[in-house]
C-alpha cells in the first residue's frame, strides 16, 4: 500500500528539482566543517603527545570525517584533495619522501609555510598512515619523526580549514551563480548540477576500481599491499564510508526518493559484513577474494542505480570528449 | 621522387582558381566539429567572439579538419579508423568531394594544405601494420590522389606544415591499431617519434624520447612562426605515473619536456587532447578532457597554471591567450588574467578547433 502510494506520488511529481544549494547547505559545507574540526583536534592531539598510539584515535576520527567529503574532486577539492589524501601511490612516493626527510632531518617540519611546500606525497593522511602504523617508521618521543608527525597533523589542519573556507566562499559562489559574467567554470545551472552529480559517479567508480580493484589485482596475482590505508586498518571502512557519503550527497541533491540507490547501499553493507579482514590483506585467499568481488559488484550497483534515479531523470549523459579520446 | 617534386612545383606555379573566399562564409577564424542536440553532427565556422558563422551537416562524428588557405573550403576528417574525408563548400554547405583513402590505407584524423592550397597532405596508416603514410592529393585536379610517402613511424596522428612552408612535421604516435576498430596492439613495444619531412617525403630529422617514456604517445602539434614545435602526449603506461604531457622542440636541438607540479600532473590523468600556442606566441597550453582542465606553460617549459573546465578539449590561439571548447557547448577565452565564457552553443564540441588562415595564425 505504502509502495503504491509512493509510486503514485512519483508519477505525479513536478519535473525533477535537483538542488545544488541544498546539497551545499545540508551535506557539503557541514561535511567540510566537521572535517576541519576533526583535523584541528588531530593537530592538538599530536602536539600534546606525539607517540603513535596517542595520536591514532584522533587520526582515525579525522579520516572518518574526511571520508564524508573526501571523494570530491571539484573546485578547491580538485587540487586540495591530493595533498590531503595522496593515494593511490603506485610509485611509492610517500614512503620514499618520508624516508628522505627523516634521513636528512629536513628542517621543513619547523615552519608551517615551508612544510606546505614539501612534496604532496609527504603530506596528509597517507603520510600519517605510514608514520603512525608502519613498524619501519617506529619512533620515540623527542625524535625527528615525532616532530614530523606533528608537522603533518598541523599542516593537515591548516589544509582542512583552507578547504572549508574556499568551499563556503568562492566555490559556493561559483556553483550557485552559474552564468555570472566572471564565472567561466559553470555557464548554466545544469552545468553546476552536472558537476556535483558526476562527483557521485566518479567517487563510486574510484571505490570499485581502486579501493577494491587494486588490492584484488588479478585472480592469479592479488595485490594486498595496494589496499588503501591498510596499515591503519581502514581499507574496508573507507569503502563503506565512501558509499555512505555518495548516498547522503545523492539525497541532498535530489528532492525525490531514491529507492534503488538505497537498496543497493543496503547490499553494500551486507557484502561488507562478510569481509573478515578490514585491511584486505586476506585477498590472497580465493574465498576471501570472492567476498571482495561481491562487494565490488555491490558498489557498482549503487553507481548504476544513481545513473537511473538521478542521471537519466535529469538527462545527464557522460562527457563527450572525456569518454572517448584520440 | 624528382618527377613528383617537379609536379608539385608546377602546381604551385598554377596558383588557385578564383572561387568563393572565407569572407563569403562569414569570415570565420576557426573550424570546429560538434555533435548537435538531436544527435546529428556538423562542422561549424566560428568567429573570434565565439559566434557561429556557418554550419555544414556531417554524416558522422568528425575529428579534426583543415581549412583551405584562400577558398571557403574545408576538409573534415572522420574519426579513426577513417574511411573517408569530406571536402565542404563552407558557403553553400555542399559536399564538394568525398575523399577515400586507397585500398589498405586509412585516414588518421588530421591533414594540412600546402603549396598555397594546391596540395593536401593527409595523415594515414597502412591497415595491415599501422605504418605511417602521408597521402598527397592534388587539390586543383579535384582532390585526386597523386602519391604518398612514409611518415617514419607507426600510427601517425597530427601533421603540420612548418613556417618555412617546405617542411612537414608529423606526430608518429607509435601505436599500432586493429584495422577494424581502435584496439591497441603494441603498447609494450610502442616507440613514438616526431618526424620532419620535406614535401617529397625525404626524412630530414627525427626525435625520440628517452626509453622510459616510450609509452608516451606523441599525438598533437602546435607551431610558432619561428619554428618552435609544441607536442602533446598521451600516456599509455600505468595510471598515476604523472609523466610530462608537453614537449617543445626546435630542429637541431634536444626536445624539452615540460612538467607540471606533481598534483597538477596527476589531475591531467596522463592525457593531453589538444595543444595551441597563445595568440602572441609567448606561451602554450594543453588540454585534458579527462582531467577537465588545461595547463599553461611558458615557451621555456615552465608551468604557468591550470584552468578548470569540464570536458574541455579543443584549443586554438586567440589574442594573448586561447580559445577553448568543451563537450558542454562552451567556448571559453583563456588569458593569463583568467577565463571568460564567450558563448555556449547547444552542441557538444569535438576534440579540436582548427584555426584558419587569416585567423589567429596560418598553418
Note down the domain range covering B165: 2-11+26-259
Average pLDDT over residues A15-25: 81
Instruction: Classify residue B39: in a domain, yes or no.
Output: yes
The alpha carbon dihedral of B259, B261, B266, B268 has a sign of negative
Q: Do A82 and B348 touch (CB under 8 A)?
A: no
The pLDDT-based confidence of A307 (bands split at 50, 70, 90) is: very high
Closest Cα to residue B276, out of B316, B308, B311?
Answer: B316
Any B CB within 8 A of A322 CB: yes
Q: Do the domain assignments include residue B221?
A: yes
For residue B52, is it within any domain? yes
Cα of A15 to nearest chain B Cα, Å = 20
Grid coordinates representing B213 are 617514456
Q: How far is residue B33 from each of residues B30, B61, B98, B280, B314, measured CA to CA in Å?
A: 10, 8, 17, 25, 10
User: Is the pTM for the entire model greater than 0.80?
Assistant: yes
User: Average model confidence (pLDDT) for chain A?
Assistant: 93
> Is any Cβ of chain B less than 8 angstroms from the Cβ of A194?
yes
Give the model's pLDDT for residue B62: 86
**pLDDT recorded at residue B304:** 98
Q: Let me know if A113 is exposed, middle or buried by CB neighbors in 10 A (0-12, 13-18, 19+).
A: exposed
State how many domains chain B has: 1
- Buried b / exposed e over A277-293, threshold 16 CB at 10 Å, is bbbbbbbeeeebbebbb
**Mind giving me the DSSP string for A16-75?**
P-B-HHHHIIIIIHHHHHHHHHHHHHHHHHHHH--SHHHHHHHHHHHHHHHHTTTT--ST
Low-confidence ranges of chain B (pLDDT < 50): 1-2, 9-17, 358-363
CATH number of the domain that residue B37 is part of: 2.130.10.10
> Is A195 within 8 Å of B290 when comparing Cβ atoms?
no
pLDDT band of residue A320 (cuts 50, 70, 90) is confident
Best residue in B108, B308, B342, B348 to probe A by mutation, most A CBs within 10 Å?
Answer: B308
For B79, name the nearest residue in chain A, comparing CA atoms only.
A326
CA–CA separation, B363 vs B359, rounded Å? Answer: 10
Q: pLDDT band at A17, cuts 50/70/90? A: low
**B273 → closest Cβ in A120, A181, A325:** A325
From A83, A93, A322, residue closest to B289, measured CB to CB: A322
Q: Does B81 touch chain A (CB under 8 A)?
A: no
Tens-digit pLDDT profile for residues A40-60: 999 999 999 999 999 999 999
Would an 8 Å CB–CB cutoff place A315 in contact with chain B?
no
For residue B65, tell me if it sits in a domain: yes
The verdict on residue B272 lying in a domain is no
Let me know if residue B136 belongs to a domain.
yes
Q: Partners of B98 in the beta sheet?
A: B86
ipTM: 0.85
Check: CB of residue B41 under 8 Å from CB of residue B58: yes
Q: In what order do the strands lie in the sheet with B30-36?
A: B52-58, B41-46, B30-36, B347-355
User: For B327, which of A93, A188, A319 is closest by C-beta distance?
Assistant: A319
Which residue ranges form the domains of chain A, and what is each CATH number?
18-184 (1.20.1420.20), 188-316 (1.20.120)
C-alpha–C-alpha distance, residues B270 and B222, integer Å: 19
Q: Do A184 and B341 touch (CB under 8 A)?
A: yes
Give residue-wise pLDDT tens across range A225-263.
999 999 999 999 999 999 999 999 999 999 899 999 999
**Searching chain A, which residue's CA lies closest to the CA of residue B312?**
A321
Q: Quick one: angle between helices A144-166 and A76-84, nearest 10?
A: 160
DSSP per residue, B247-276: EEE-TTS--EEE---HHHHHHTTTB--EEE
Chain A contacts of B339, Cβ < 8 Å?
Answer: 184-185
The answer as to whether B252 is a domain residue is yes
Nearest to A191 by CA among B310, B325, B314, B294: B310
Amino acid at each position: 500500500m505504502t509502495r503504491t502510494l509512493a509510486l503514485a506520488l512519483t508519477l505525479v511529481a513536478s519535473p525533477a528539482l535537483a538542488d545544488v544549494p541544498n546539497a551545499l547547505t545540508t551535506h557539503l559545507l557541514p561535511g567540510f566543517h566537521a572535517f576541519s574540526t576533526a583535523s584541528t583536534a588531530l593537530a592538538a592531539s599530536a602536539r600534546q603527545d606525539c607517540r603513535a598510539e596517542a595520536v591514532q584515535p584522533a587520526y582515525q576520527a579525522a579520516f572518518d570525517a574526511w571520508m564524508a567529503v573526501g571523494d570530491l574532486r571539484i573546485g578547491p577539492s580538485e587540487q586540495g584533495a591530493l595533498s590531503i589524501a595522496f593515494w593511490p601511490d603506485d610509485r611509492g612516493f610517500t614512503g620514499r619522501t618520508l624516508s628522505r626527510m627523516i634521513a636528512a632531518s629536513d628542517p621543513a617540519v619547523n615552519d608551517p609555510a615551508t612544510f606546505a611546500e614539501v612534496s604532496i606525497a609527504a603530506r596528509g593522511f597517507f603520510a600519517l598512515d605510514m608514520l603512525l602504523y608502519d613498524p619501519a617508521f617506529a619512533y620515540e618521543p623527542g625524535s625527528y619523526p615525532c616532530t614530523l608527525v606533528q608537522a603533518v597533523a598541523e599542516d593537515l589542519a591548516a589544509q582542512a580549514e583552507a578547504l572549508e573556507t574556499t568551499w563556503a566562499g568562492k566555490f559556493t559562489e561559483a556553483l550557485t551563480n552559474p552564468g555570472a559574467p566572471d564565472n567561466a567554470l559553470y555557464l548554466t545551472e545544469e552545468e553546476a548540477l552536472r558537476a556535483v552529480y558526476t562527483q557521485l559517479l566518479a567517487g563510486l567508480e574510484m571505490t570499485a576500481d581502486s579501493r577494491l580493484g587494486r588490492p584484488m589485482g588479478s585472480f592469479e596475482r592479488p595485490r594486498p599491499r595496494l589496499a588503501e590505508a591498510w596499515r591503519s586498518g581502514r581499507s574496508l571502512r573507507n569503502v563503506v564510508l565512501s558509499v555512505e557519503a555518495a548516498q547522503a550527497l545523492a539525497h541532498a541533491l535530489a528532492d525525490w526518493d531514491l529507492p534503488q540507490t538505497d537498496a543497493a547501499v543496503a547490499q553494500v553493507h551486507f557484502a561488507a559484513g562478510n569481509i573478515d579482514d578490514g585491511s584486505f590483506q586476506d585477498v590472497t585467499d580465493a574465498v576471501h577474494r570472492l567476498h571482495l568481488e561481491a562487494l565490488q559488484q555491490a558498489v557498482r550497483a549503487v553507481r548504476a542505480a544513481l545513473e537511473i534515479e538521478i542521471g537519466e531523470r535529469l538527462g545527464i549523459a557522460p562527457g563527450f570528449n572525456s569518454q572517448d579520446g584520440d | 621522387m624528382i618527377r613528383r617534386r617537379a609536379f608539385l612545383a608546377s602546381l604551385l606555379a598554377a596558383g588557385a582558381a578564383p572561387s568563393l573566399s572565407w569572407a563569403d562564409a562569414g569570415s570565420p577564424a576557426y573550424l570546429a566539429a560538434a555533435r548537435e542536440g538531436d544527435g546529428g553532427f556538423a562542422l561549424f565556422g566560428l568567429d573570434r567572439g565565439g559566434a557561429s558563422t556557418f554550419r555544414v551537416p556531417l554524416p558522422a562524428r568528425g575529428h579534426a579538419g583543415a581549412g583551405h588557405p584562400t577558398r571557403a573550403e574545408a576538409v573534415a576528417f572522420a574519426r579513426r579508423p577513417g574511411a573517408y574525408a569530406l571536402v565542404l563548400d563552407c558557403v553553400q554547405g555542399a559536399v564538394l568531394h568525398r575523399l577515400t583513402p586507397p585500398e589498405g590505407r586509412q585516414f588518421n584524423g588530421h591533414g594540412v594544405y600546402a603549396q598555397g592550397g594546391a596540395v593536401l597532405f593527409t595523415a594515414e596508416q597502412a591497415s595491415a601494420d599501422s605504418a605511417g603514410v602521408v597521402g598527397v592529393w592534388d587539390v586543383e585536379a579535384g582532390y585526386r590522389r597523386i602519391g604518398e610517402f612514409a611518415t617514419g613511424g607507426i600510427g601517425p596522428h597530427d601533421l603540420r606544415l612548418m613556417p618555412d612552408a617546405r617542411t612537414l612535421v608529423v606526430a608518429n604516435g607509435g601505436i599500432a591499431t586493429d584495422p577494424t576498430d581502435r584496439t591497441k596492439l603494441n603498447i609494450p613495444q610502442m616507440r613514438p617519434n616526431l618526424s620532419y619531412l620535406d614535401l617529397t617525403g625525404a626524412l630530414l630529422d627525427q626525435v625520440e624520447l628517452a626509453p622510459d617514456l616510450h609509452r608516451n604517445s606523441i599525438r598533437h602539434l602546435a607551431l610558432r612562426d619561428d619554428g618552435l614545435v609544441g607536442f602533446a602526449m598521451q600516456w599509455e603506461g600505468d595510471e598515476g605515473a604523472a609523466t610530462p604531457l608537453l614537449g617543445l622542440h626546435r630542429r637541431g636541438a634536444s626536445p624539452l619536456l615540460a612538467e607540471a607540479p606533481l598534483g597538477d600532473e596527476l589531475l591531467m590523468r596522463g592525457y593531453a587532447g589538444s595543444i595551441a600556442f597563445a595568440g602572441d606566441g609567448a606561451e602554450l597550453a594543453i588540454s585534458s578532457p579527462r582531467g577537465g582542465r588545461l595547463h599553461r606553460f611558458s615557451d621555456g617549459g615552465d608551468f604557468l597554471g591550470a584552468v578548470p573546465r569540464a570536458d574541455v578539449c579543443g584549443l586554438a590561439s586567440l589574442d594573448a591567450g586561447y580559445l577553448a571548447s568543451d563537450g558542454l557547448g562552451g567556448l571559453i577565452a583563456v588569458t593569463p588574467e583568467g577565463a571568460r565564457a564567450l558563448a555556449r552553443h547547444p552542441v557538444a564540441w569535438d576534440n579540436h578547433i582548427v584555426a584558419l588562415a587569416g585567423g589567429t595564425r596560418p598553418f
